[in-house]
Amino acid sequence: MAKKIITPEETERQDNYMRRVLDRNSALKRRPTACIKTFGCQMNEHDSEKLAGMAERMGYEIVPDEAAGKYNGRFCDLVVLNTCCVRENAEEKIFGHIGALKGAKHEYPGLLTAVCGCMTEQKHIYDDINSKFRNVDIVFGTHDIYRFPEFVYKAVFTGKRVCVPPGSGDEIPEGLPIKRDSDFKAWVTVMYGCNNFCTYCVVPYVRGRERSRNKDDILREVESLALSGVREITLLGQNVNSYGRDINSGTDFAGLLGEICDRVQGSGLRRIRFMTSHPKDLSDRLIDVMASRPEICAQLHLPVQSGSTEVLRRMNRRYTKEQYISLVDKIRSRIPGIALSTDIITGFPGETEEDFAETLDLVKRVRYDAAFTFIYSPRVGTPAASYPDQVPPEVVHERFDRLLELQNGICRELNEACVGKTFSVLCEGVSRTCDTRLTGRTESNKVVNFTASPPYDVSDGSLAGRFADVYIENAQTWSLEGRAVNWRL
Ligand code: SAH
Ligand code: SF4
């Protein structure tokens, strides 16, 4: 399938809209503010960085997201909700926020509200917002993100609502301005969309089919990040292992990783991560590249979803429990000590107590460093939503609690085994929960809160983005505690 990239003419059109909004905003007495509130996954976080980049070019000051459209006691001029629809509770939360912004608009009619992202890619939600939430000025889906300047321009200059129905286009947006949240950690998209159609999942419907970015565009982005002092990148895609299949680039994901490592050699960019890997597509070539390149972190997110082969079959995951476990064994034998994390759904339709016992058994055998556990949530339009035998909520919750208890115990044991060892930690700044400590992550992605001793000072902002060797003194379930014994400046 040919890949569509936004044409230079379209880019020029959007640049013109940006300039016109910028002119208008520059003429205002004070700089208008924009707040972008993100729900959901890393893909959305990265999309929000692009929305922030465009808003900044339009003259808005990007401010942190505070409740109900306010920042520092004053209403924002533009509030963007970048939404998620993977589970129902995300959608409910977002409707709550949209409702709260109704009052804000009433008090400050200058407030522009935009709702975008995965939720508005669903026709029924789009219709709902259109008809019930007239306070929303701009509605668009994931596919139209690059047209944000056009939508803001139209809303600002005509005062009319701008609503773009879902399902238009499958362009790859190259060259958008990006305002990154961090100076030293960055997301890099390698592909968009998903072709897997797991029967519970709405992602393929709202993110479209797989579209790989051109290898050269990716390499250019990585090189410029390395040049600007970024220390760690995470390559993003719903299933990175499919990279390149749709564009006949002659490169698969393992090949792409190898080339990225070559490009960053000798720079300060020391860590490369990626997510997500579908177990059915994880190749030996990828394991080889991971094993041989020190820049690639010994850490892998490998969602299993269930330990029951029968449930996996009905989820359309296309691997069995045994195949998954042998894959884990193979990875561990090639990359000893690799940290593994996973996603698990409890209460998939028809899940029996025996199926659930298989999940507990798998978790005990694999001993994940981290597991993201979810209660099954029926999604409109997905096959599983109409499967018979939906599991009663009280049964699901009870299973969910048992799974969490098991995983928490494993996390604590694995963390306790880190006590007395020293790890290289990428410092991210002062801990949000304790201002006398720094926080950062190990190569295995474990959170470490740590102290620094003179001449280094916790309040010294320049320590963020530097690597410290941290001696681990204490273990919590979700984090480690220690002290920096050496800084690599
Ligand atoms: N492409 C990635 C991420 C998909 S969404 C992957 O395949 O892993 C992230 C996680 O949300 C999924 O791994 C799954 O565990 C969970 N999820 C997706 N749909 C869900 C649903 N309907 N109910 C509960 N959890 C769901
Ligand atoms: Fe959803 Fe499955 Fe695609 Fe992941 S691989 S995004 S779970 S359909």
Domain identity same for 55 and 72: yes
Closest approach atom of ligand 2 to CA 343: 7
In tens, the pLDDT along 279-289 reads 999 999 999 99
| Rounded percentage of the chain residues whose pLDDT exceeds 90 | 87
**178 falls within a domain:** no
Domain identity same for 442 and 352: no
CB distance 145 to ligand 2 below 6 Å: no
**153 falls within a domain:** yes
Which of 389, 414, 439 terminates a domain? The answer is 414
Domain identity same for 389 and 297: yes
**179 falls within a domain:** no
156 confidence band (pLDDT: 50, 70, 90): very high
Q: How far is the CA of 194 from the centre of ligand 1 (A)?
A: 12
Domain identity same for 137 and 273: no
Give the model's pLDDT for residue 248: 81
Which of 376, 396, 414 terminates a domain? The answer is 414
Give the model's pLDDT for residue 410: 98
Q: To the nearest whole number, what is the mean pLDDT of the chain?
A: 94
Domain identity same for 136 and 250: no
pLDDT at 1 over 60: no
Give the model's pLDDT for residue 169: 66
**176 falls within a domain:** no
CB distance 289 to ligand 1 below 6 Å: no
CB under 8 Å to 452, separation ≥6 — which residues? Answer: 438, 458, 463, 468, 483, 484, 487
Roughly what angle, to the nearest 10 degrees, separates helices 393-416 and 353-366? 10
In tens, the pLDDT along 278-334 reads 999 999 999 999 999 999 999 999 999 999 999 999 999 999 999 999 999 999 999
**175 falls within a domain:** no
Residue closest by Cα to atom 5 of ligand 2: 196
Q: How far is the CA of 126 from the centre of ligand 2 (A)?
A: 22
Residue 470's DSSP bridge partners are 423, 484
Q: Which amino acid is at 321?
A: K
Residue 74's DSSP bridge partners are 71
Mean pLDDT of 192-200: 96
Closest approach atom of ligand 1 to CA 237: 1
CB distance 379 to ligand 1 below 6 Å: yes
Which CATH number fits the domain that encloses residue 475? Answer: 2.40.50.140
CB distance 201 to ligand 1 below 6 Å: yes
Mean pLDDT of 187-192: 96
Which of 367, 386, 414 terminates a domain? The answer is 414
Split into its structural domains, the chain has a count of 3
Mean pLDDT of 356-382: 97
Q: Which amino acid is at 246?
A: D
167 confidence band (pLDDT: 50, 70, 90): confident
In tens, the pLDDT along 255-279 reads 999 999 999 999 999 999 999 999 9
Q: How far is the CA of 383 from the centre of ligand 2 (A)?
A: 13
In tens, the pLDDT along 11-39 reads 999 999 999 999 999 999 999 999 999 99
In tens, the pLDDT along 127-155 reads 999 999 999 999 999 999 999 999 999 99
CB under 8 Å to 449, separation ≥6 — which residues? Answer: 431, 433, 434, 437, 438, 439, 479, 480, 481, 482
Domain identity same for 387 and 457: no
pLDDT at 222 over 80: yes
Q: How far is the CA of 195 from the centre of ligand 1 (A)?
A: 14
Mean pLDDT of 441-462: 92
Spatial separation of the C-alpha atoms in residues 209 and 211, rounded to whole Å: 6
Mean pLDDT of 211-218: 95
433 confidence band (pLDDT: 50, 70, 90): confident
370-375 and 339-346: which strand pairing? Answer: parallel
**170 falls within a domain:** no
Domain identity same for 53 and 98: yes
**Residue numbers of the domain that contains 324:** 185-414
Is 77 in contact with 33 (CB distance < 8 Å)?
Answer: yes
353 confidence band (pLDDT: 50, 70, 90): very high
Domain identity same for 89 and 12: yes
Mutate to test the pocket of ligand 2, among 87, 192, 200, 239 (most ligand atoms within 8 A of CB): 239
How many CB atoms neighbour CB 173 within 10 A?
A: 21
Which CATH number fits the domain that encloses residue 410? Answer: 3.80.30.20
Minimum mean pLDDT among 76-85, 197-206, 241-250: which range? 241-250
* Alpha-carbon radius of gyration of the chain: 23
**168 falls within a domain:** no
Domain identity same for 214 and 347: yes
**369 falls within a domain:** yes
Domain identity same for 273 and 385: yes
> Which residue is it, tokens 């709405």?
202
Residue closest by Cα to atom 15 of ligand 1: 343
CB distance 194 to ligand 2 below 6 Å: yes
Give the model's pLDDT for residue 2: 47
Q: Taking Cα atoms as reference points, which of 140, 75, 63 lies closest to residue 101?
A: 75
Q: How far is the CA of 200 from the centre of ligand 1 (A)?
A: 8
Q: Residue 8 class from Cβ within 10 Å (0-12 exposed, 13-18 middle, 19+ buried)?
A: exposed
pLDDT at 171 over 90: no
Domain identity same for 284 and 359: yes
Minimum mean pLDDT among 145-159, 167-181, 245-259: which range? 167-181
489 confidence band (pLDDT: 50, 70, 90): low
Give the model's pLDDT for residue 457: 87
In tens, the pLDDT along 45-74 reads 999 999 999 999 999 999 997 777 888 888
Which CATH number fits the domain that encloses residue 42? Answer: 3.40.50.2300
- In this prediction the pTM is 0.96
Domain identity same for 75 and 30: yes
